[in-house]
Amino acid sequence: MPGGGLVLVAGAGGFIGGHLVSDLLKQGAQVRAVDIKPLDEWYQVSAGAENVVADLSSIESARAATAGVDDVYNLAADMGGMGFIENNKALCMLSVLESTHMLVAARDAGVSRFFYSSSACVYAADKQTSADVTALKESDAYPAMPEDGYGWEKLFTERMCRHFREDFGLETRVARYHNVYGPHGTWTGGREKAPAAICRKVAEAVLTGADEIEIWGDGEQTRSFMYIDDCVYGSQLIAHGDSVEPVNLGSSELVSINQLVDIVEDIAGAKLTRRYDLAAPKGVRGRNSDNTMIKEIYNWEPSVSLREGLEHTYAWIHEQVATTLARR
């Protein structure tokens, strides 16, 4: 999908960014990979990319990063799982500095395409109060009632992308990610999302001989989860596509957290007692992706089932847990 020009991936040291850089390089693209974290903290460092450590919330750094660039994938944000989002609303909203400066720098540099990774957290909370949720279509973001902090920043930046396109001619494209998971991502430390957290807890129990794991909430809250390979491919489809409106990018395979645990336990060959922490952060009661628009426009749907994706994810996290335990 990449053309002949230089491609910038902002947030390249993160989970999705690292996979995207690797995929672009395999396609023969020239890639500039930028992240605020030191290189030794990046989840993946691709030797074939121009790897840059920079704080893109600075307009000077944003201008340097976009110099000579043809396409921009802006994935940079201060974020994590629900535990992080609910307890760090101001930090999440401060990502607006990076988003704003990257749009300004891309406009001034004459960038051809600007892709922004938004989130299902932009959707109105009153449409997500039941575990038996109606899948969220793109229009359900308005009237606005997004996730406090993180969701507001994402929705605001979506509007900026729209108006930079309308007012300045910058070709912006927006994807709303729905719970991306897979290997080479955050699996511990408080920023991990549900699939990684469950894989870690089950792996720790298996490796230490424990017979119990903790579940946040009652386990009946529902979500859909998209494997990283589908996210990377779908992001490039949307980035180079014709739809100027935000598009859902996710799976419509709805499961409860308890069902997610069932699958991971089956993969691990374990059956554990579940201790439910009803006071823990748990987000909305139910959320699922309506994929009607992306099917109609791009003929896209996920190619990796939840079971298959969790098999890959659990194997990688099991290895990380085993290595960590061996060092103690």
The verdict on residue 10 lying in a domain is yes
CA dihedral for 99, 156, 161, 22, sign (positive or negative): positive
| Three-class DSSP category at 116 | strand
| Domain total in the chain | 2
What is the spatial distance between Cα 115 and Cα 117, in angstroms, rounded to a whole number? 7
The answer to whether position 1 is within a domain reads no
Same structural domain, 280 and 173: no
150 is catalytic: yes
| Domain limits for position 263 | 186-224+253-327
For 105-124, write each residue's pLDDT tens digit: 999 999 999 999 999 999 99
| 312 plus 163 within the same structural domain | no
CA atoms within 13 A on the CB side of 205: 22
Q: Are residues 137 and 43 both part of a single domain?
A: yes
CATH number at residue 318: 3.90.25.10
Model pLDDT, residue 3: 59
Residues 67 and 176 reside in one and the same domain: yes
Q: Are strands 113-119 and 69-74 parallel, antiparallel or unpaired?
A: parallel
State the pLDDT at residue 78.
85
**Does residue 169 sit within a domain?**
yes
Tell me, yes or no, whether 198 and 111 share the same domain.
no
Is the domain of 208 the same as that of 114? no
What is the C-alpha separation between 149 and 59, in angstroms, rounded? 23
User: Which parts of the chain register pLDDT below 70?
Assistant: 1-3
Q: Are residues 98 and 244 in the same domain?
A: yes
193 and 273 assigned to the same domain:
yes
Average per-residue pLDDT for the chain:
95
Residues 6+ apart with CB under 8 A from 315: 183
311 is written with which tokens? 């098999």
Tell me: do 168 and 72 sit in the same domain. Answer: yes
The answer on 74 and 215 residing in a single domain is no
CATH number at residue 23: 3.40.50.720
pTM, full prediction: 0.95
At residue 84, the pLDDT reads 86
State pLDDT tens for residues 212-260: 999 999 999 999 999 999 999 999 999 999 999 999 999 999 999 999 9
185: region left, alpha or beta (phi > 0 left; psi from -120 to 50 alpha): beta
Report how far apart, in Å, the C-alpha atoms of 299 and of each of 103, 185, 192, 248, 302 are: 29, 28, 31, 13, 10
Q: Indicate whether 176 and 81 sit together in one domain.
A: yes
Is 235 found in the same domain as 301? Answer: no
Query: Active site residue: 150, 177, 181, 227, which one?
Result: 150
